[in-house]
A and B are shown apart, each in its own frame.
Chain A
Amino acid sequence: MTVGGGPVVEEEKAEGFTIPPDVKQLGIIAGVISAVILIFPGLPAVIKAVGLILALVWGMDSVRKTSKYGLGTGVPSIGVLAMGYGIVGALVGIALVSKVVSKVGDSVLAPAAALGGVLLMGVVGLVSGVLSNHEKIIGMKIPKLEQGMTELGMAGTIAMLLQFSIVAGSLNFDVVLDKAISNGLIAVMFILSCMAMFHPYNACLGPDERRPRTMIVSVEVSGLLCVILGIVVAAVATTTWGVSGVVDGVLLVIFGAVVWLVCFVKFVRMCFEEAYSTVGTGMIKTIE
Chain B
Amino acid sequence: MPIEIAMLFAWMLLIVFLALVACMFEDLESDVGSQSNPNSQVQLAPQVGQVHRFFNKAISGEAPAYALYCTVAGVIAWVLLSKGAHPIIAIPIGAVVGEAVHVIFSVTAHVGRTTAQKRFEQPIYLDVLYGHIMPIATHGFMATLCITAIAYIQSNLGTLSGNPGLDHPFALPMLAFIWGITVGAIGSSTGDIHYGTEREFQDRPFGEGKRVVYHGKITRYADCGVRTQKDIAAFCAKFGGPCTGLTFGVIILFENWRTLVGMQVARYLPNLEAAAGDSAAVIGIVVGLVIGVAMIVGNLVLVRWARKRYGTFVGE
Report A-B touching, CB under 8 Å.
Answer: yes
Contact B107 A268 (CB under 8 A): yes
B296: min CB distance to chain A, Å? 28
When chains A and B are docked, how far (Å) is the Cα of A213 from the Cα of B76? 30
Q: Does B109 contact A (CB under 8 A)?
A: yes
Which residues 249-288 of A have a CB within 8 angstroms of B?
Answer: 260, 264, 267-268, 270-272, 274-285, 287
In Å, the complex CA distance between A28 and B74 comes to 36
B75 interfacial by beta-carbon distance below 8 Å: yes
Of A31-39, A142-150, A199-207, the one with at least 4 CB within 8 A of chain B: A199-207
Complex CA distance for A23 and B51, rounded to whole angstroms: 34
Q: Which single member of B78, B170, B176, B220 contacts A284 (CB below 8 Å)?
A: B220
Complex alpha-carbon distance, A279 and B126, angstroms: 6
Q: Verify if B108 is at the interface (C-beta below 8 Å from A).
A: yes
- Known: A80-B64, A183-B171, A203-B59. Contact between A191 and B71, CB under 8 A? yes
Q: How many residues of A contact B (CB 8 A)?
A: 57
B138 an interface residue at 8 Å Cβ cutoff? no
* Cβ A271 vs Cβ B53 within 8 A: no
Given A184-B170, A232-B75, verify A203-B124 contact (CB < 8 Å): no
Report yes or no: B173 in contact with A187, Cβ–Cβ below 8 A. Answer: yes
Residues of B within 8 A of A205 (CB): 43, 58, 112-113, 116
Query: Does B259 reach chain A (CB closer than 8 Å)?
Result: no
Are B117 and A195 within 8 A (Cβ)? no
Contacts of B59 in A (CB 8 A): 199, 202-203
Is B226 a contact of A284 with CB atoms below 8 Å?
yes
A80-B64, A281-B127 are contacts. A213–B119 as well, Cβ < 8 Å?
Answer: no
Some 13 contacts from A to B, beta carbons below 8 A apart, are A76-B64, A188-B177, A191-B71, A195-B64, A203-B109, A205-B58, A207-B119, A209-B116, A213-B115, A214-B112, A235-B83, A271-B114, A271-B115
Measured CB to CB, the residues of B under 8 A from A are: 43, 49-53, 58-61, 64, 67-68, 71-72, 74-76, 78-79, 82-83, 101, 104-105, 107-109, 111-127, 170-177, 220, 226
- 8 closest cross-chain pairs (CB), A and B: A206-B116, A184-B171, A184-B173, A187-B177, A184-B174, A76-B60, A203-B112, A271-B111
Q: Name A residues whose Cβ lies closer than 8 Å to a Cβ of B.
A: 74-76, 80, 182-188, 190-192, 194-195, 198-199, 202-209, 213-214, 217, 220-221, 224, 228, 231-232, 235-236, 260, 264, 267-268, 270-272, 274-285, 287
